[in-house]
Structure 1
Amino acid sequence: MRKRLALVLAGAGLFAVSLATGADATPQGPAPVADSTREGTVPAADLLAKVSSCNQISNGKYRTDEETSANIAVCGANGAVFWKADMDIDCDGQPTAHCNSDTDPWFQDDTAFHQSDGKPLISDQLPYVVVPSPSSIWDYRTAGIKGGGVVAVIYNGKVEYAVVGDTGPTKIIGEASYATAAALGIDPDPETGGTDSGVTYILFKNSSVTPIESHSQAVSVGDQLARQFLQNN
């Protein structure tokens, strides 16, 4: 899978309601591989049942890679937006043994959104999702989506909660961090890993994790939002 170049978007100021307060320690070490079919209490099948049809809110569709046709729409639902696409691996952010200019030909040492200490995110530690940079196709900010917003990522019967952590090309969709892929059992290699299809991304509107680097907060808030999503759709 060819990773796409992530674009850094600065100053995307949008106010949203924070659904989680308090901070815990920055996760240490690589993200653990999921040892169950889901994080939290909501099964993948229940979430997928609510996104079986698409109310398209994007003004057009996205490609999954530069060479593919544009066939991925952003869909709207009560309390969330979602899309179904592939997963390319974003290894950008602070350099680590897994993510650096030697392991990733497209490596950038920054992410659009930063940790509470001001440093870029750490791709092989933090599950995060990449959203397309604003364009005439779609502007994530107008949908109540922001850096640190909560995302339920579903693949092969597993649910992984992540945050919005980076922005990418304006015409391409379907990318997440090394840690997201590893937790879902997807090859996280930034050059050859990823998967061509079968990934569902549900982004919860007006949500945020504080601090953005706390995966435990993402799981706690995400589980709450997922249960609300089932009730409201």
Structure 2
Amino acid sequence: GGERRAPGPEATVGAADLLAATTTCAPVSKGKYRTDAGAAATVPVCGASGAVFWKADMDIDCDGQVTAHCNTTTDPWFQESTAFSQSDGRPLNSEKLPFVVVPAPSELWSYPASGIRGGGVVAVVHGGRVQYAVVGDTGPVGIIGEASYATADGLGIPAHPQRGGVPSGVTYILFKNTRVSPIENHAEAVRLGDALAKKFVRENGGAK
């Protein structure tokens, strides 16, 4: 019933269609994740045809290359590295590249076992917008719901590493057995993501 907002310039698959395809959860994780340290564990990783997904908050990952908005001054937890690197061997640029953080493998859930890998294609949905991204970093084993400065910015979410983010309402759809090469080619993530999103909606009953 709500009004349908136009998708962003990148997306031909609407946020509403992607959300309709993620209404039911068949958990693939052995338990649930916390959205923040100290929070209750409420978020399962869900399996679907061609993807896994979760619905969580968004914390801001500013790690990687030092930039105007991502550095030790803006982010006291800043680390000059990301789990996956650019084609030139340098860490990713959080300020420029939309990417998503996956929890490091644990008994709870191991992303490689679900066909998720560095450079894998991700659709992030929030507030009627769709942002395509890649799997770019790993985070603490029990916590989920984090993406790069550029991902937040693209979705109209405040992106400051300390004050930014949103407490809920973000859906992360990670497409299995995909890889953007080179990982820093955002246009390729969008091209692949758009095709994968169409297939995902078709296979998971999101399209009317």
TM-score (structure 1 length as normaliser): 0.84
Distance 2:87 2:193 in 1: 19
Shift of the 142–93 alpha-carbon distance from structure 1 to 2, 3 Å rule, reads same
1:170 CA drift (Å): 0.1
Is the 8 Å Cα contact of residues 154 and 200 (structure 1) preserved in structure 2? yes
Counterpart in the other structure of 1:109: 80
2:92 counterpart residue number: 121
Given that residues 7 and 15 in structure 2 are in contact (C-alpha distance below 8 angstroms), is that contact kept between their aligned partners in structure 1? no
Instruction: Quote how far apart the aligned CAs of 1:37 are.
Output: 3.4
- 1:100 aligns with 71
- Supply the distance in 1 between the matched residues of 2:96 and 2:24 (Cα, whole angstroms): 33
2:56 equivalent in structure 1:
85
Aligned equivalent of 1:152? 123
- Find the counterpart in structure 2 of residue 73 from structure 1: 44
- Alignment of 1:63 with 2:50, yes or no, is no
Whole-Å Cα distance in 2 between the matches of residues 132 and 106 of structure 1? 17
Which of residues 176, 191, 195 in structure 2 aligns to 1:224? Answer: 195
How far is 1:72 from its partner?
0.2
Percent identical: 64
Query: Which structure 2 residue ranges, 5 or more long, are not aligned?
Result: 1-5
- Within 1, Cα distance between the matches of 2:20 and 2:8? 16
Match of 1:141 in 2: 112
AA of the residue aligned to 2:67: T
CA shift at 1:39, angstroms? 2.3
In the TM superposition, residue 161 of structure 1 has moved relative to its aligned partner by 0.1
- Which digits, 9 at most, give the CA deviation of each residue in 1:129-186, with x for residues without a partner? 0000000000000000000000000000000000000000000000000000000000
Q: Choose between structure 1 and 2: higher strand proportion.
A: 2
SS of residue matched to 1:71: strand
Counterparts of 1:38 and 1:67 in 2: how far apart (Å)? 38
Report the AA paired with residue 102 of structure 2.
V
The runs of at least 4 aligned residues of structure 1 exceeding 6 Å deviation read none
Q: Give the match's secondary structure for 2:42.
A: coil
Deviation (angstroms), 1:36: 5.1
Pairs within 5 Å for 1:150-189: 150-189=121-160
Contact 1:75–1:82 (CA<8 Å) still a contact in 2?
yes
Q: Tell me the alpha carbon deviations over residues 57-76 of structure 1, each in whole angstroms, 9 at most, x when there is no partner.
A: 10000000002100100000
Residue 3 (structure 2) aligns with: none
| Root mean square deviation, CA, Å | 1.0
In structure 1, what is the Cα distance between the partners aligned to 2:94 and 2:122? Answer: 16
- State TM-score, norm by structure 2: 0.94
1:55 and 1:38 map into 2 onto residues whose CA distance is 31
* Residue segments in structure 1 that go unaligned for 5+ positions in a row: 1-34
> How has the CA–CA distance of structure 1 residues 195 and 38 changed in structure 2, closer, same or farther, with 3 Å as cutoff?
farther
Give the count of matched residue pairs. 199
